[in-house]
Each structure stands twice: as C-alpha cells, then as structure tokens.
Amino acid sequence: MAMAMVRSGLLRTALRGGSKTSPKRGFASSAHHDDAYETAKWEKITYLGIASCTALAVYVLSKGHAHHEEPPAYPYLHIRNKEFPWGPDGLFEVKHH
C-alpha cells in the first residue's frame, strides 16, 4: 500500500509541501487565486460548523442528563487493590464510605 501511495504521487506531493509543486497547476497567479478562494470557502465552512455546533450544544445541554441508581456491588465494579496516594476516593467517583 505504501508503494502504491508513492507511485500515485500523493505522498510525494504532501512531502514536498502540498499542491503548489503539483504538475497540474496553472499559472502562478491562478494558483494564488485558488488559495484565496479556498480560504474564503473554508472560512464559511468553519462558521457553518460553529453555528450548527452551538445549536446542537443548546439542545443537548437543555435536555439534562440521566441519573442512575447504584448497581449491586458486583466484584468487577469499583475495583480497589490498594489505596490511592491521595486517599480512598477515585478522582471522578461518588464517595463509597
């Protein structure tokens, strides 16, 4: 697979610093224009992403989260072989004593 990647020139292009050395590029000025166009496009995509994430965050956080009752004390839960250096409780745990 690595050889196929080298032959396809994909890896070689990436190693040489992106598409600017690609044989398919047009004039120097048109390559510059492409980057300006791509900059504007990805800026819009980022804003779209931020807007949808904000909407999703409001929805998810407004729902609240479920609270569960304590499960039976199965031997594979709350495993303790020795005390933690800082004391008996785990870092993100409900206290058990």
Partner 1 sequence: MIESQRHSYHLVDPSPWPISGSLGALATTVGGVMYMHSFQGGATLLSLGLIFILYTMFVWWRDVLRESTLEGHHTKVVQLGLRYGFILFIVSEVMFFFAFFWAFFHSSLAPTVEIGGIWPPKGIWVLDPWEIPFLNTPILLSSGAAVTWAHHAILAGKEKRAVYALVATVLLALVFTGFQGMEYYQAPSTISDSIYGSTFFLATGFHGFHVIIGTLFLIICGIRQYLGHLTKEHHVGFEAAAWYWHFVDVVRLFPFVSIYWWGGI
Applying CB under 8 A, does 45 fall inside the site for partner 1? Answer: yes
Q: Please, what is the Cα angle at 66 between 60 and 70, to 5 degrees?
A: 155
What is the rounded CA–CA span in Å between residue 72 and residue 78?
A: 11
In terms of C-beta density within 10 A (0-12 exposed, 13-18 middle, 19 or more buried), how is residue 13 classed?
A: middle
Applying CB under 8 A, does 38 fall inside the site for partner 1? Answer: yes
Applying CB under 8 A, does 95 fall inside the site for partner 1? Answer: no
Binding positions for partner 1, rule: CB under 8 A: 11, 14-18, 20, 32, 35-36, 38-39, 41-43, 45-46, 49-50, 52-53, 56-57, 60, 63, 65-66, 68, 71-72, 74, 76-80, 82-83, 85, 90-93
